[in-house]
């Protein structure tokens, strides 16, 4: 009888734990943020003009500003906590729960959606190649026999490897630790070219009134659609972020945020179309 009572108690405890497990699993990002009052924003140090550290070491950039809008929509009782993430670990930081949202120029891909979810698009960019004016690179074929740097774990790395292989172009691909390092290696003659998102390359060239001696490819080698990376299978949080972004686009306030980073130049027609398409109605 005693054994039966012990067994019954164990079964009852197991049943209670089973009932509690789904509620724990369903406690998503919005519930946790509401409980703790902290919204953890992942950002990069080196992805200007989208996500970077400014001269004072503070988070800055167009996509960081979008996440500040999301943070404000969570309510006055929530404070943003900024977490610096490395490019190669950024999706893992979302998957492992180190950050609640990733605010950097992350291209939406099917493979990445196996690890994280994405918001509606936030920007359009594409790959470009930085080189020296004395030996400019305008085509993949121009890389033949040259040393080209790229940031590991990016869609640009995948594009570079695939395109050179398809074109039977032999080049030496050298991994770099960050975008600034890539540019410095080109300037010092240790690389012949550096491949990255064109907007990031253009922003580095504009710093300090311009960097002479460099050439930026005129063409886009790819088109990249950015989105905010979010925890997988958290539909309530994803819907909240999408609603916030769609309202930002519909209201036209997105143009003030764009102007803060990119100035008042007319928007690229493709970017303008992206904003219109994603100005989803509330009802």
pLDDT of the residue at 273: 95
- Name which of 234, 48, 214 is nearest 135 in CA terms: 214
The answer to whether 29-124+225-277 and 127-222 have equal CATH topology is yes
Q: Given this model, what pLDDT does residue 163 score?
A: 96
Structural class in CATH, domain 29-124+225-277? alpha beta
Q: Which of 118-132, 138-152, 196-210, 263-277 has the lowest mean pLDDT?
A: 196-210
The more confidently predicted of residues 188 and 18 is 188
Q: Per-residue pLDDT for 14 more than 80?
A: no
Q: Which residue ranges make up each domain of the chain? A: 29-124+225-277, 127-222
Task: Return the bridge partners of 149, or none.
Answer: 174, 194
Q: What percent of the chain has pLDDT over 90?
A: 80
Give the pLDDT band (50/70/90) at residue 20.
very low
Question: How buried is 120 (Cβ within 10 angstroms: 0-12 exposed, 13-18 middle, 19+ buried)?
Answer: buried
Return the SS3 of 47. strand
Higher-confidence position of 208 and 113 = 113
Taken in order 41, 47, 48, 50, is the CA torsion positive or negative?
Answer: negative
Tokens (6 digits) for 258? 């764009």
CATH number for the region 127-222 comes to: 3.40.190.10
pLDDT (average), residues 43-62: 96
- Whether 94 has a pLDDT exceeding 90, the answer reads yes
pLDDT tens digits, one per residue of 228-259? 999 999 999 999 999 999 999 999 999 999 99
Q: Which of 15-29, 117-131, 215-229 has the lowest mean pLDDT?
A: 15-29
**Band of pLDDT at residue 274, cut at 50, 70 and 90:** very high
Q: What is the pLDDT of residue 194?
A: 97
């Amino acid at each position: 009888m005693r054994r039966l009572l012990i067994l019954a108690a164990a079964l009852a405890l197991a049943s209670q734990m089973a009932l509690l497990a789904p509620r724990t699993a369903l406690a998503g990002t919005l519930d946790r943020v509401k409980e703790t009052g902290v919204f953890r924003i992942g950002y990069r140090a080196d992805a200007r003009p989208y996500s970077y550290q400014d001269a004072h070491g503070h988070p800055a950039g167009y996509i960081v500003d979008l996440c500040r809008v999301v943070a404000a929509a969570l309510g006055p009782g929530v404070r943003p906590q900024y977490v610096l993430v490395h490019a190669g670990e950024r999706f893992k930081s979302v998957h492992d729960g180190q950050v609640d949202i990733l605010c950097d120029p992350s291209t939406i891909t099917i493979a990445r959606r196996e690890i994280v979810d994405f918001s509606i698009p936030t920007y359009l960019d594409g790959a470009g190649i930085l080189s020296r004016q004395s030996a400019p690179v305008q085509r993949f074929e121009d890389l033949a026999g040259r040393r080209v740097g790229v940031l590991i774990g990016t869609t640009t790395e995948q594009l570079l490897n695939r395109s050179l292989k398809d074109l039977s172009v032999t080049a030496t691909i050298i991994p770099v630790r960050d975008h600034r390092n890539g540019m410095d290696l080109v300037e010092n003659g240790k690389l012949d070219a550096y491949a990255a998102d064109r907007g990031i390359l253009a922003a580095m060239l504009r710093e300090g009134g311009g960097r002479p001696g460099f050439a930026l490819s005129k063409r886009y080698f790819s088109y990249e659609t950015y989105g905010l990376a979010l925890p997988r299978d958290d539909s309530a949080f994803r819907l909240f972020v999408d609603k916030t972004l769609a309202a930002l686009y519909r209201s036209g306030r997105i143009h003030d945020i764009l102007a803060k980073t990119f100035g008042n130049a007319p928007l690229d027609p493709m970017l303008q179309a992206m904003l219109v398409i994603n100005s989803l109605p509330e009802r």
